[in-house]
Amino acid sequence: MSEPTPRAKHVRHPKLATPARFLFALFLVSTGLMTMMFGVQGYPLPDDPSPFSDFMKALDDTGYIIFWVGLVKFIAGSLLFARRTTPLALLIALPYTVNILLYCIFIANQYLLLGIPDFLCNAFLIYAWFDWYKGCFED
């Protein structure tokens, strides 16, 4: 019997996916560093009472999640710079981007212009690198 030949993996729409990958990486690294700084120094809270300020105050008071979210964003963004680690980085970033989309829709509507493109970029890049994930869905 002959060995099955491995299928070649290719990136869909590479002329669009490559710049999107680098922009998404820059966004994740820079906002990851900023978020870690907020975790250490405290989050700048608005003065007006709102569900957004209440939520952010609760996160700031515990000091727990903000630093770690920033660290995960920084790691995912750093991994995106290398083509070899891009599929892993996109999966690491996926829970963050889904959460940010939901957070922007339900709590912080003023950030929808950041949350929607953030999620869509991650979704597009997962589609572009989908050949690396196909094995997860095969017998």
**Pairwise CA distance, residues 8 & 67, whole Å:** 39
At 90, is the secondary structure helix, strand, or coil? helix
| pLDDT reported for residue 5 | 57
Kindly state the DSSP code that residue 81 receives in the 8-state scheme. Answer: T
- Least reliable range by pLDDT among 16-25, 35-44, 101-110: 35-44
| pLDDT tens profile 34-81 | 999 988 887 777 778 888 788 878 877 877 778 889 999 999 999 999
> Hey, what are 90's tokens?
């996109």
pLDDT over threshold 90, residue 96: yes
Domain chopping of the chain, boundaries = 14-39+51-133
Report pLDDT for 116. Answer: 95
Mean pLDDT along residues 100-109: 90
Tokens of 3: 């060995």
- Measured CA to CA in angstroms, residue 43 lies from 74, 75, 78, 128 at distances of 18, 21, 23, 35
